[in-house]
Structure 1
Amino acid sequence: MQKLLVSVVAIVALLAGVVIFNSLPRPEPQALVYEPPRELDPFMLEAHNGAQLTNADLTGQWTFLFTGYTSCPDICPTTMADFKKALPQLASVTNRPVKVWLISVDPRRDTQQKLADYTTYFGTEFMGVRAEHKNLYPFVNGLGLMYSIPGEEEVDYLVNHSSAIVLVNPDANRHAIFKASHTPGTLPTVDMEQMVQDFQLITQQYQ
């Protein structure tokens, strides 16, 4: 009888612990997570190695996409360097490959070779992506990002573009967007440490 009582008490304590655990607030990503993830419109872009990229090239991996260009003086090289540093941490929380796509918003100057020289410097996980504006703009807009198109007469110019980073899941759907922090006196870049934490939560919840 005493053993039965002990067993009953143990079971009640276990159930109470489960109820309490399930009622505790769980950490949520600070990024904007799309519920459900959003499909991308069909696209065809050019990789820095000359390959044609379509939606199928986003399947089976986690892909971080952001806009930039090789002549960018500040945000783009900073983001690339931050990604290179963060990639081991990002890769450690998933058994899927983790890739980074730099989407050039300066197709006039960013040739395939120029993109290859720029992106391969940071590692094999980086892909330089380009297209002419007629294909590029709808793709970038579909990601929820933007950029400006300089006038044909301009030669030495800067391109305004989003500094946010979009996460595409292994089903090739837009899963989340990481907004840049805007602190006076600093570059508007994404907090990589927070992004790593968010990515871990996202991968744990991904089905």
Structure 2
Amino acid sequence: MQKLLLSIVALVALVAGIGIYNWLPQEQPQALVYEPARTIAPFTLDGSDGQLADNSNLEGQWTLLFTGYTFCPDICPTTMADLRKILPELQEHSVVPVKVWMISVDPQRDDVDRIQKYTSFFGENFYGVRAEHQRLYPFVNGLGLMYSIPDEGEQDYLVNHSAAIILVNPAGNLQAIFKAEHVIGEIPTVSMEQLAQDFEIIARRYH
């Protein structure tokens, strides 16, 4: 009788504990998280390794995607350097690799060789992709990003592009968007501290 009573008390305590846990507010990421994750339309891009990159190259890893170009004077090198610093911390929260893809939005000047040299400077977990606008624009637009196209024949120009970072899950689907912070007088960049906090939550919940 005493053992039965103890079992009942333990069961009640367990149920109460679960109820309290579910009642308490759960930590929520600041990023825009897609639930369920969104399918990325089929694409084919030129990879910095000299191979074609398609949807299958995003599978089996967490991938951070962002638009940029090698002539970019501020946002791109800043973002690349920040991601290089934060990658080891992100990797601690994932059993699969965490990679970075820079999507070049300057096909006129960024050929495969130039992108390879640029991305390899930041480490082996960095990969570059490019394509002519006919293939590039639908891919970038499908991710919810944008970029400007220079006038025909223009040589010395800047490319306006999104500063947000896209997170693709190990199934190759769009999982979240980390938006850039806009501060007057400063270039728009994603907070790496917030990105790391959000990634930990997202990776923990991912199945």
Under TM normalisation by the shorter chain, which class is it? over 0.9
Please tell me whether residue 150 in structure 1 is matched to residue 150 in structure 2: yes
Shift of residue 117 of structure 1? 0.9
Task: Give distance in 2, aligned partners of 1:159 and 1:97.
Answer: 30
Counterpart residue number, 1:13? 13
Shift of residue 100 of structure 1? 0.4
Counterpart residue number, 2:86? 86
Map 1:16-165 → 2, pairs under 5 A: 16-165=16-165
Shift of residue 4 of structure 1? 5.2
Task: Give distance in 2, aligned partners of 1:147 and 1:110.
Answer: 15
Task: Give distance in 2, aligned partners of 1:19 and 1:130.
Answer: 50
- Taking structure 1 as the reference length, the TM-score comes to 0.95
Shift of residue 176 of structure 1? 0.7
Shift of residue 41 of structure 1? 1.0
Among all aligned residue pairs of Structure 1 and Structure 2, give the percentage whose two residues are the same amino acid: 62
Aligned residue for 1:187, secondary structure, equals coil
Counterpart residue number, 1:199? 199
* Contiguous gaps of at least 5 residues in structure 1: none
Aligned residue for 2:149, secondary structure, equals coil
Moved over 2 A (4+): 1-15
Task: Give distance in 2, aligned partners of 1:101 and 1:206.
Answer: 21
Shift of residue 132 of structure 1? 0.5
Deviation track 1:156-183 (CA, whole Å, cap 9, x = no partner) reads: 1000000001111111111111100111
* Contiguous gaps of at least 5 residues in structure 2: none
> Structure 2 counterpart of 1:77, which letter?
P
Q: What is the root-mean-square deviation in Å for CA atoms of aligned residues?
A: 1.3
Aligned residue-pair number:
207
- Taking structure 2 as the reference length, the TM-score comes to 0.95
Deviation track 1:25-46 (CA, whole Å, cap 9, x = no partner) reads: 1001111111211111111100
Shift of residue 185 of structure 1? 2.1
Shift of residue 125 of structure 1? 0.3
Shift of residue 81 of structure 1? 0.3
